[in-house]
Amino acid sequence: MAKKASPAKAKKPKKEEKKIKKDVKKVTKKSPPKKVTATKKPVKKEQKKAPKTPPKIEKKKPKTKETKAPKPTKEKKIKKSKKTEKTEEKPVKEKKTKKEKEQPPKIIKVEPPKPVEESGEHKKIRTEIMGILKDKFLPPSVIDEIILQISNDKGLKPKLKEIISRALNEYAKNIIDPSEACGIVGAQSIGEPGTQMTMRTFHYAGVAEINVTLGLPRLIEIVDARSIPSTPMMNIYLRDEYRVNSDLAKEVANKIEITRLNTIADIETDLTNLVIIIKPNIKTMKNKNIKIEDIAEIIKKIRGIDAKIEKDTIKVTLDEPSYKKLLDVNETLKGLQVKGIDGIKRIIIRKEPNEGYVIYSEGSNFKEVLDIEGVDPYRTSTNDIHAVARELGIEAARNMIIQEAHNTLSEQGLNVDLRHIMMVADVMTSDGTVKAIGRHGVSGEKSSVLSRAAFEITVNHLLSASQRGESDRLNGVAENIIVGQPVNLGTGAVELAMGHSIQKRKAK
């Protein structure tokens, strides 16, 4: 019985080998691009299946075929998998690229901020307002302001209908009519009062000893987007501790105001010994918190010079003594900067009501002033628009243009609607830089040839356009006026056609 049983048991592993080979072929065909994981996974499954038959076979030593059977399977698997890896590497990559092309790009969903829940009172007022408005429209910001006012002052609640009707009337007044030439109206509304503006160039703007350009020259500066204003100025606001205490405000002012050596000390030249003697003024030194050692260190930075402190004076000697060099050094020492920020010539501290101490400066250096301790960076302002654009961005520069233009017009008693100035500021800053309204800026970059030629340098514009072969589609106002066509605005933007109904005469 034992001899008959042995061949039957020996046949089992051969069947298993065939099954394993089939499994290996399937695995190698379906194997993904990951090389190691594809071979390991089927091996583990075979190892689990194999020990079911071998424990009985291993007890009988003569059956060596059965024990050797599983080993070649592993080798075959590895060899086959290596071959298939070589052959299948290229097509797998192609499949990947196709799948990637087919798959749409991953969209990252960003959850919108959760809306703030309104109180019961606010909701009631909102529903009442919406009931009064019905089909009419009011901006949401206006509705929110009305709700806040009514919730704070309950006496206004019975007058809600009146408030909304007045708000609708005011909103209707401020809406632009369809096909209105808002650009030309804006230009006219600023240009017409600008011609009648007084020609006072310098004016004391509430601050003693500081001249500020106002009136028409200042308006031209803003519109031309000049890189440096003719009279740069800064209003430097201080933080809580510094704006209350006068000593701390003086400290900040001393850090900002530029101090030269000739304002602090007397400079004398000894021509016989070829030596320069600096005699510092002790009172001014104390006021500005400067020590003699600080001055000596700054002087030593100049090439070819040595400075020594002798009692209350500083003796400056030359490495190579000569009469010409002595005079040159004397001139450099007079204009030597001891303390402060470049560009700020003069400073005045004033105590403003409900504000405390405010520093007004003649000259501007916006970047360095904001870094000084004690200065409030959120309220400090300058009349240099390009400096604001560099430090705070284009939106801040846009707001600066609006504010400066509005202030210059209102100071002369000219009431120009703010929205006309806003349009000019938008056009000047639309591409992320501060552009001038002129041939070097906005009007010089117009697409229409005739509108460019109508502004300045007519012949040059027409010649360059003819060389390039440019065409003008006559979409603007100036082009159509030059050609003699009706302007495509207002009534000119509408075309009417009447269809006459001709009655057929009845045949007699």
What's the DSSP call for residue 109? Answer: P
How far is it, in rounded angstroms, from Cα 382 to Cα 3?
A: 109
Q: Give residue 75's pLDDT.
A: 41
Query: Does 365 fall in a domain?
Result: no
The pTM assigned to this predicted structure is 0.65
141 inside domain: yes
Same domain, 408 and 468: no
Do residues 8 and 74 both lie within one domain? yes
The helix (H) or strand (E) run that includes residue 204 is strand 202-204
Residues 424 and 452 in one domain: no
Closest of 459, 504, 507, 448 to residue 481, by C-alpha: 448
pLDDT for the residue numbered 70: 44
Q: How far apart are CA 52 and CA 39, in angstroms?
A: 22
Do 167 and 202 lie in a common domain?
no
Give the pLDDT score at 224. 92
Beta-carbon contacts of 198 under 8 Å, excluding residues fewer than 6 positions away, are 215, 216, 412
Give me the torsion for CA of 459, 464, 468, 471, rounded to 10°. Answer: -40
Q: What is the pLDDT of residue 504?
A: 63
Co-location of 389 and 335 in the same domain:
no
**CATH number of domain containing 481:** 1.10.150.390
Boundary-marking domain end, from 276, 307, 339: 339
Q: Provide the pLDDT for residue 21.
A: 58
The answer to the question of residue 152 being in a domain is: yes
pLDDT at position 470 is 92
- pLDDT at residue 30 in the model: 46
- pLDDT, tens digit only, all 508 positions of the chain: 444 444 444 444 455 555 555 554 554 444 444 444 444 444 444 444 444 444 444 444 444 444 444 444 444 444 444 444 444 444 444 444 444 445 555 565 556 666 667 778 888 888 989 999 988 899 999 999 999 998 888 888 888 899 999 999 999 988 888 888 888 899 999 999 888 877 655 555 555 567 778 888 899 999 999 989 988 999 999 988 898 988 899 889 888 988 888 778 888 887 777 788 888 888 888 777 788 887 888 887 787 777 778 777 888 888 777 788 888 888 888 878 888 888 888 888 988 888 889 999 998 999 999 989 889 999 999 999 999 999 999 999 999 999 999 999 998 888 999 999 999 999 999 999 999 998 888 888 888 899 899 888 899 999 999 999 999 998 888 899 999 988 888 888 888 888 777 666 665 5
Single out the residue of 205, 207, 257, 211 nearest to residue 231, CA to CA.
211
Q: What local confidence, expressed as pLDDT, does residue 68 receive?
A: 42
- pLDDT at position 45 is 40
In a domain, 351, yes or no: no
Residues 42 and 63 both lie in one domain: yes
What residues make up the domain containing 169? Answer: 120-174
Boundary residue ending a domain (53, 81, 109): 81
In angstroms, rounded to a whole number, what is the distance separating the alpha carbons of residues 272 and 321? 11
Residue 129 carries which side chain, given as an amino acid letter? I
Q: What is the pLDDT of residue 105?
A: 54
Phi, psi at 203, each rounded to 5°? -150, 140
Do 6 and 73 share a domain, yes or no?
yes
**443 and 455 Cβ atoms separated by less than 8 Å:** yes
Does residue 347 fall inside a structural domain? no
Residue 281 located in a structural domain: yes
In a domain, 344, yes or no: no
Looking at the fold, whether 124 and 149 belong to one and the same domain comes out as yes
Q: How would you write 54-102 as a 3-class SS string?
A: HHHHHHCCCCHHHHHCHHHHHHHHHHHHHHHHHHHHHHHHHHHHHHHHH
- One domain for residues 193 and 168: no
Number of domains composing the chain? 5
Please report whether residue 99 resides in a domain: no
Counting beta carbons within 10 angstroms of the beta carbon of residue 257, is it exposed (0 to 12), middle (13 to 18) or buried (19 or more)? buried
What secondary structure does DSSP assign to 344-409, as a single string?
--EEEEEEETTTEEEEEEES--HHHHHTSTTB-TTT-EES-HHHHHHHH-HHHHHHHHHHHHHHHH
Within 10 angstroms of residue 294's Cβ, the number of other Cβ atoms is 13
Which residues neighbour 299 within 8 Å (Cβ) at sequence distance 6 or greater? 278, 305, 307, 314, 316, 333, 336
| Domain end call among 128, 147, 174 | 174
- pLDDT at residue 432, as a whole number: 92
Q: Is 27 left (phi over 0), alpha (psi -120 to 50) or beta?
A: alpha
Q: Are residues 457 and 421 in the same domain?
A: no
CATH number of the domain encompassing residue 394: 1.10.1790.20
Q: List the CATH number of the domain containing 333.
A: 3.30.1360.140
